[in-house]
Amino acid sequence: MANSFPLDLTQRPRRLRRTASLRAMVEETVLRPADFIAPLFVVDGKAPPDEIKSMPGVFRLNVTDLVKECRALHKAGVPAVALFPKLDPALKDDEGTHALNDDTLVLRAVRAVKKAVPEITVITDVALDPYTSHGHDGVLNQGRDDVENDRTVGILGKMAVLQARAGVDLVAPSDMMDGRVGAIRRALDAAGFSGTGIMAYSAKFNSAYYGPFRDAVGSAQAAGTRLLSKATYQMNPANRREAITEVLLDDAEGADILMVKPAGMYLDIIRDVREVTRKPVAAYQISGEYAQIHAAARLGWLDLVRCRNESLLAIKRAGADMILTYFAKDMALALK
């Protein structure tokens, strides 16, 4: 039987895809420079920028160059940076004691950035992995086979107060210890920093995609392996309902922003979190996600710009209000 043309269709969705202007008019999700937070790595000394081999285009920066990069990011429209220190291994020990040194690297970096670029929001990591010789996010128990939760939380509260005193806008506990958000909130308030916010890594999964980041901050070398298992405190990637339990606990304990990490493989979690809280939701497009896009592009298998854009669009479409990404500067410049 012969087909009859044209088809008798009332609804033709392609009508609104016909021209670029029509497509723009009905676009549901839009990326803008203000959506992005740039993670930055800082080192001591005066060495020139040191590119991280597993993260093309990402550098470890001395404090002077860090300030220059923050100026450039602010000019590009990126509203915030998240700072991560790479310490000299000689400063690391089992207890991560240098984290409580008032002159530790990240605190000097915060002071320099806030003095030079006071308009930019500065976020600092609250976890011990950059400071411990074993590479874990807290202090180990006597058997050295697990992180001791409550003693670690006590240290994290002190870290947060030091960071607030240095001038950070948001402290970001990434350790996944039980009860740390409430303890940090109480410590900040007691020290007179009720205006310092908490961006909690609320649903942080024990991902295989963290390797390049651990190279960047030196926690992989400290542990002797970039495959260090953190399964007793970071979440099982198989668990979806548990993520909501973690998020609601952080929400109740006083977190101002709730984060999902990683982002790209956990879009369902981002959507779930968006639906259970009215608080802002952040998502971290992690080092492995960034590295795999670059690697495939270098092999000619993927288009770098299109895949970069699509990956970030998907994260925002899933429900993230803000995205930590190593593409922040390039995206902001592309969108201006």
Active-site residues: which are they? 204, 261
Q: How many CA atoms lie within 13 A of 81 on its CB side?
A: 30
Q: What is the DSSP string of 204-241?
A: EB--TT-HHHHHHHTHHHHHT-TT---TTTSBPTT-SH
Q: Which structure tokens are listed for 37?
A: 């937070």
User: What is the reported pLDDT for 55?
Assistant: 94
User: What is the reported pLDDT for 229?
Assistant: 84
| Residues with Cβ within 8 Å of residue 165, at least 6 apart in sequence | 102, 191, 193
Tokens 């909130």, located at residue: 185
* CA 40 – CA 116 distance, rounded (Å): 16
Q: Is cis: bond before 13, omega within 30 of 0?
A: no
For the chain of 336 residues, list the mean pLDDT of each consecutive stretch of 10. 78 96 96 98 96 94 98 98 95 96 97 98 96 93 90 98 98 97 98 98 95 79 59 96 98 98 98 98 97 96 98 98 98 95
* CA 18 – CA 3 distance, rounded (Å): 24
Number of H helices and number of E strands within the chain?
A: 12, 10
Q: What is the DSSP string of 151-193?
A: HHHHHHHHHHHHHHHHT-SEEEE-S--TTHHHHHHHHHHHTT-
* CA 309 – CA 235 distance, rounded (Å): 28
What angle in degrees, to the nearest 10, is found between the helix axes of 304-318 and 267-276?
30
**pTM to 2 decimals?**
0.94
Q: Where are the domains of the chain?
A: 30-335
* CA 216 – CA 213 distance, rounded (Å): 5
- CATH number for region 30-335: 3.20.20.70
Q: Degrees (nearest 5) of the Cα angle 265, 270, 271?
A: 115
Q: Which helix (H) or strand (E) holds 295?
A: helix 287-298
User: What is the reported pLDDT for 215?
Assistant: 83
Burial class (CB in 10 A: 0-12, 13-18, 19+), 262: buried
Output b/e per residue, 185-217; b: 16+ Cβ within 10 A.
Answer: bebbeebebeebbbbbbbbbbebebbbbbbbbb
The two beta strands, 80-86 and 36-43, are parallel
* CA 100 – CA 93 distance, rounded (Å): 12
Burial class (CB in 10 A: 0-12, 13-18, 19+), 301: exposed
Which letter does DSSP use for residue 298 in this model?
Answer: H
* CA 316 – CA 320 distance, rounded (Å): 5
